[in-house]
Structure 1
């Protein structure tokens, strides 16, 4: 903690300066989940089960099992929203410290090391290459804390026939983070095999195996109240991406791992793809090598240890094994996530070997020197961005110092030898940590704090004006989890457990979406109405927007909405066309299918089916004029490929639009356009979230009859494919007509929370469906007039109920699937553990008597 605390002060991390630890997923995702965790625990505990801040709505029990069940997160309760970054720093420091303490405790209990020597190994463990590279993945770091405790518990099961330590810590680990727990569970199998040579009789080995299997099953059983609902959630979301086609191949040359034996061998480019981060210090690596050469350790155990080491190394680069450790899915960024286990294994074997009485022979030291020079000679031939000459020299220097230290007998000066061991190991691993972290950039505190304050102030204004149930849309964004950060119902989300049907639907209606995220930036009047976006928030002066309020959309069709409130930089308006969360609709929607890839046509079809309307709402429009600069001319814009005439000069395609009505005009743009062109509207840069895979919709005009609008596509490269570039006009009269039909039968809520919606609805004769914009989930249970009814899944996304005309009382209640079953299994498993403990105590009592 002292080492990393000093580094954070040096880097001016909040609260010590204007920088933060927020970067990549920690800054774009986890920090918002922490805000949600804090708010839910203090004010809305039902949101731990379900939240409408998760895009249009989604389960949270399984999501929290991956992101938030660490008991250490309770520390964040003491940090207000705008200063949550300081809480993250405190939490990170604590996890570093507890990792070292945990490993030190293991070494003490196992009597492998004692006194100040323990600090050499515990510090190397707490600052190893994996934890430094994954400091930003703060939710994974608990595995570093619990792993040594579980290992000691396993030792107790095998040799002391005691269950409680192993069962307790493994259960906590599974509940804390099932993903990392999976990796630890695999490792316990390897550890058990490694310990077998220490047990002479096969009968004793079988009994030990039985105790291990029984204890593991009990831990899994106790965790079932989390595991069962989470497993179901995964099969509906992340599990659908599991790789079913496994190839027997190496993902990269295993020799590339040798570069990771250089201190600080990490940078940003290693995050999306790279080799395992396994640096633990030169002296510790020598300890691993000497373990295999140490004849005082049983040969059988050394052979098994060597095979386990080879298996772990092979797992880093051999695809089937890599997938096995990652539960059948290739990691999206952060490869070899299980390499913390390799770091533990190396340090643990080194601690087993490098004891006070151990003295390597001359020939062993010569072997170490030979391999060191060979490895660094090979690394010198590599061209990698994350290693420079200084790092190589520092690494070689620590290696030589380590060999010289090993050459001096401990008996010459025991105290000095112990101090040197700690000094060399600590300086080595600290240098590596500092070097690696210096290559990463971070979000500033003003960038995070000022944005959070501005968004919270605007959200508070809306909540003061309306205490009902509604969604909020906006045209600025720091992250796609802004709704979690400020506690409002939105349309954005970035997370591993989003159900695939939601990104598919959002992409189909023209929104940026992908595997794991949706972003409501490209709405129309139709989608705003359909999805219940009752309030909209936009930067007051986009041309002079504050740098901490990054724009993500352009919506002139909001300008005629009723102003509700204003903050110093955000304007809030009310959309009177927004439909409620549930409303009466025509039965046509039950059979509605997607038969078009045009988002405007699909939006219109959905609205028409709901209202039983025959007339489409969008009409194709022609551009008034097209100006071609340094590209060939064309009679048709949509689908044309424009190529530069003069390659070294700028080129553009200008589309002139002069609206003939005050209706809203929308431009569709295919996903390939963003890679080949930048867009301006009336010579002003168009703000658009850049990651999308479907055709998106841009609102280019509203209430601008007769005004000239110029949309310019500036070529970035030699050619531009105008993929799906078309202009549409929303027929306001048709839209208003269908809207009035759908507004006839709103669900009037008497109770609204994250998990319960109650109200009354008056269904008309031409309506047979209660349509909701709640994403379909088997956890939702519906009652009409207190009678349970089966829900329907419509347009592949939303929950709906068949209903008869008349006035009805509606109840919708959410409970995570298999939660009750999981609780029952957990209780029975806990009872089994208790009875097992009492049985063992009774046996011990009888033995004493």
Structure 2
């Protein structure tokens, strides 16, 4: 089956590395984690903190969501780096093989025939959820391996057998990925209730209590076994930036289009809200069989009914997604029960009568009509026709079998199995190849990923000094730079991970970075904001020459490559040191009252603390920033695609329509950084049909002196990234000329409500920037040791103050001053600060994940408990 599906896929240069998350997350982190493991085997140790992950991050929580708990990823250590892509693809096939193996182990408990098991294994292994994630999200395949084995573990406990398998599978699934472990827990609980009801009918409450108690005990033991990874990951998730402040969609019912697409996707490979379709057309006959045998109450039928109801209401999707957006990723479980029921139907298809097949015929006619219209409308004939042809073939074969009175039942079973295999194979190819969804076109070309990482900056990264302590930045135009600094082992800020420090996200939100996203709080050069780049100790910026105009003022190009495209390396002398002492503070409450420019300029003067702090009993007086210049302006509406409806409401009827802002006294703006602030933003679409969901996404482009900055409001249905942008604060860049006009361009039609538009000008003096940096250097920590998990330095102070760092605020950091443990405070919202007394200070920062030790102890306790319980079980069995 894999040969049939993927031979041409690879021959045509396709890979399992999606150009989006696959390239910037899955393969990159797999590659780096394998490097870490190989280093560990060479005796290089395992660092629990990594400075190349964004502003610095915990290694366990950063890699844990993707590869750290994936047992298959560890096979990568057997391959050299030159075969890293090969191993990535090979491991994917191993995962797929284990999906089928897991299914076969599960159904063996039910003593199904070989043919039925084989048919189910094909339907489960090559279900849409698997083929879709093979080249999208590799670890999403893991729950399809764990779920049948978890169900088998419950089955064994309910039948008074050993609970060892259940405990082991709970541990493995908890370690592998906490996100899917949550779903698996609920799905296994539902399975356990259904199976207990079928086996014992809830008649004996004592037995029910006993079964529930044993399942709960072995579940808790499994959690203990997996605690070494599970606890750190849960802590990381609970303190991460994935907080969308509620769900902005109706949880009672989906919009009409969802239900239409749900039907449409049943037998063609696609998903909507992760409601995975792409079933074999054979499932249509299986469902008819389940209705026919409803009196028998097969557990697969009951499970399908429950999960089917879950698909109909967004509340269940949200509940299964941790009360987040209703992404129906629990739908990976549906193929398990479809497969099991299909195997049962293959064995017992004689129970389906001619009248039942006639009903299926009418349903097939309905799908023929639906898919026929869709094929013509989308010009995708093979995509829609193949499932229909196979459906009608199966129908004619089953009718023929009824007529010949089952004389060649075994041969027909083989034919049906072959048609199911063909159905699953063509569904996969319909997804991958150009005549269908063409997902192969969204993949990175085979065997090119490592070269792309290496050539991200055209080799300019090799010109960076090796010994100095600094961070490396990019510009606002480098949105493609996400996690690649990890590959280059450079201290950058751009990061794109599912578990990201929540305090950094709070800082980014407070500063109103236009580039902020929920799981990418610091990205795209933090809006090219000059002071913020200085604050983060960004001494160098790497980018392409075409982005030179976006360099913050004061960053001078020191190197240019000779290649095409041309890359540049820019440097500043005004970056702040990594750690320095401030003696002026402002509280978080008062800081929040400032506008974004005032907040940024305050970072040059003092430190933000959550509350007032006493330093040697002396309260440090709060300070305020100077008033930033507000620029007077006039708005001119000349574009026919845009018209003002009232003072604060604009209707855009043509994409790309814009209005002009004319600045008054523009000649006085030369030598300033320019900013624009839109407040009270609301958007309403005007051209969405009633049966489609409201599209709340839009892009606004700001143009000034040839620079373009586009801000996006994501759609409320993009649950991983959605947050409501009530305001947009945009850095328009530095002006030497004092240009008197700028434009705001709307990429999406609709009505835009804007309460207020303010334009700020911030005077810039390069000498003043250098003086501020020099003052910070005079009060800087003299760093002697800088390692992933340890920083050592000395400091001499005549007065007390707050040691300010850009170390992300994490529980695992401890600080000693002159050998004594010192309190850590939350400084500048997202970072670590240390109150210091006057005099000499020898300061040591050290990091250890706070839950790793206790997790290890709990895992050891779990091992002892599982051994004890197994010993008791064997003795009771012998007696």
Q: TM-score range by the shorter chain?
A: 0.7 to 0.9
Change (3 A) 1:749 1:312: same
Deviation at 1:819, TM superposition (A): 2.6
* Aligned: 1:782 with 2:815: yes
SS at match of 1:412: coil
Aligned counterpart, 2:352: 360
SS at match of 2:22: helix
* Aligned: 1:233 with 2:232: no
Change (3 A) 1:575 1:806: farther
Deviation at 1:341, TM superposition (A): 0.6
Deviation at 1:473, TM superposition (A): 0.4
Q: CA contact under 8 A between 1:631 and 1:642: conserved in structure 2? A: no
Change (3 A) 1:133 1:744: same
Aligned pairs for 1:153-164 within 5 A: 153-159=153-159, 161-164=161-164
Deviation at 1:664, TM superposition (A): 5.5
SS at match of 2:763: strand
- Kindly provide the CA deviation profile for residues 138-194 of structure 1, in whole angstroms up to 9, marking residues without a partner as x: 221111122222233333333361222222223111110121122222222222233
* Aligned: 1:436 with 2:394: no
Aligned counterpart, 2:122: 123
Q: CA contact under 8 A between 1:592 and 1:609: conserved in structure 2? A: no
Aligned pairs for 1:270-285 within 5 A: 270=271, 273-274=272-273, 276-285=275-284
* TM-score when normalising by structure 1: 0.83
- Kindly provide the CA deviation profile for residues 643-674 of structure 1, in whole angstroms up to 9, marking residues without a partner as x: 99999998645669977798553333548799
Q: CA contact under 8 A between 1:225 and 1:826: conserved in structure 2? A: yes
Which stretch has the larger CA shift, 321-330 or 54-63? 54-63
d(CA) in 2 for partners of 1:245, 1:520: 27
Aligned pairs for 1:220-619 within 5 A: 220-237=223-240, 240-241=243-244, 243=246, 249-252=252-255, 255-256=259-260, 259-260=263-264, 262-266=266-270, 270=271, 273-274=272-273, 276-294=275-293, 299=295, 301-302=297-298, 305-331=300-326, 335-355=327-347, 360-373=352-365, 391-407=383-399, 408=401, 412-413=407-408, 416-438=411-433, 439=437, 440=439, 441-445=441-445, 451-455=452-456, 458=459, 460-461=461-462, 465-475=465-475, 476-509=478-511, 511=513, 512-518=515-521, 519-521=523-525, 522-539=527-544, 541-542=545-546, 554-555=550-551, 557-560=553-556, 563=558, 568=563, 569-589=566-586, 593-596=590-593, 598-610=595-607, 619=628
SS at match of 1:223: helix
Aligned counterpart, 2:618: none
SS at match of 1:774: strand
d(CA) in 2 for partners of 1:257, 1:177: 29
Deviation at 1:358, TM superposition (A): 5.3
Aligned counterpart, 2:14: 13
d(CA) in 1 for partners of 2:676, 2:494: 20
d(CA) in 2 for partners of 1:691, 1:53: 29
Match of 2:22 among 6, 26, 34: 26
Aligned pairs for 1:83-98 within 5 A: 87-98=87-98
- Kindly provide the CA deviation profile for residues 514-565 of structure 1, in whole angstroms up to 9, marking residues without a partner as x: 22222142233322221111222132x31xxxxxxxx59811525436x378
d(CA) in 2 for partners of 1:247, 1:700: 40
Change (3 A) 1:239 1:829: farther
Aligned pairs for 1:755-774 within 5 A: 755-765=789-799, 767-774=800-807
Aligned counterpart, 1:811: 844
- Kindly provide the CA deviation profile for residues 439-483 of structure 1, in whole angstroms up to 9, marking residues without a partner as x: 2341443985554222376475256x2234421101234243232
- Kindly provide the CA deviation profile for residues 81-109 of structure 1, in whole angstroms up to 9, marking residues without a partner as x: 89866554434333223222322333345
* Aligned: 1:50 with 2:46: no
Match of 1:795 among 828, 835, 850: 828
Change (3 A) 1:377 1:527: same
Which stretch has the larger CA shift, 429-438 or 410-419? 410-419
Uncovered stretches (5+) of structure 1, i.e. residues with no partner: 15-19, 543-550, 633-638
- Kindly provide the CA deviation profile for residues 253-300 of structure 1, in whole angstroms up to 9, marking residues without a partner as x: 58536524543242xxx5xx54611332122342243144248xxx46
Which stretch has the larger CA shift, 587-596 or 710-719? 710-719
Q: CA contact under 8 A between 2:17 and 2:27: conserved in structure 1? A: no
Deviation at 1:717, TM superposition (A): 7.4
SS at match of 1:112: coil
Match of 2:871 among 815, 838, 843: 838
Q: CA contact under 8 A between 1:461 and 1:565: conserved in structure 2? A: no
- State the superposition RMSD in angstroms: 4.2
d(CA) in 2 for partners of 1:411, 1:616: 89
Deviation at 1:39, TM superposition (A): 4.0
Change (3 A) 1:711 1:239: closer
Match of 2:856 among 815, 818, 823: 823
* Aligned: 1:40 with 2:33: no
- Kindly provide the CA deviation profile for residues 597-649 of structure 1, in whole angstroms up to 9, marking residues without a partner as x: 532211112222259997958852758x98968369xxxxxx99899999999
Aligned counterpart, 1:667: 675
Q: CA contact under 8 A between 1:677 and 1:714: conserved in structure 2? A: yes
